[in-house]
């Protein structure tokens, strides 16, 4: 039985996290220094933002209450 897991992708097939061009090893997970810098800029702008997962949890709790009320 062969264990051919499609989730395992060779690093050279990775795409740039910003523009989806092929990743360059030196700048991974980006294709170029420009993309890396752009992403770093975003990251610093959004430092200390509340994680999205927390907002989802709140939504779920509110939805549950709505269902109970109806």
Site residues (CB under 5 A) for Zn ion?
16, 18-19, 21, 31, 35
- Minimum Å gap between C-beta 9 and Zn ion is 17
C-alpha to C-alpha distance for 68 and 9, rounded to whole angstroms: 44
Distance from C-alpha of 34 to C-alpha of 41, rounded to nearest angstrom: 11
Pull the structure tokens for residue 41: 């800029």
- Contact indicator for 25, 10 with CB cutoff of 8 Å: no
When the beta carbons of 11 and 50 are compared against Zn ion, the nearer one is: 11
Min. distance of Cβ 45 from Zn ion in angstroms?
18
Pick between residue 12 and residue 21 the one whose CB is nearest to Zn ion.
Answer: 21
């Amino acid at each position: 039985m062969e264990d051919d897991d499609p989730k395992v992708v060779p690093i050279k097939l990775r795409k740039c996290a910003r523009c989806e061009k092929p990743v360059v090893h030196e700048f991974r997970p980006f294709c170029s220094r420009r993309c890396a810098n752009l992403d770093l800029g975003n990251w610093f702008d959004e430092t200390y933002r509340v994680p999205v997962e927390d907002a989802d949890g709140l939504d779920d709790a509110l939805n549950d209450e709505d269902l109970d009320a109806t």
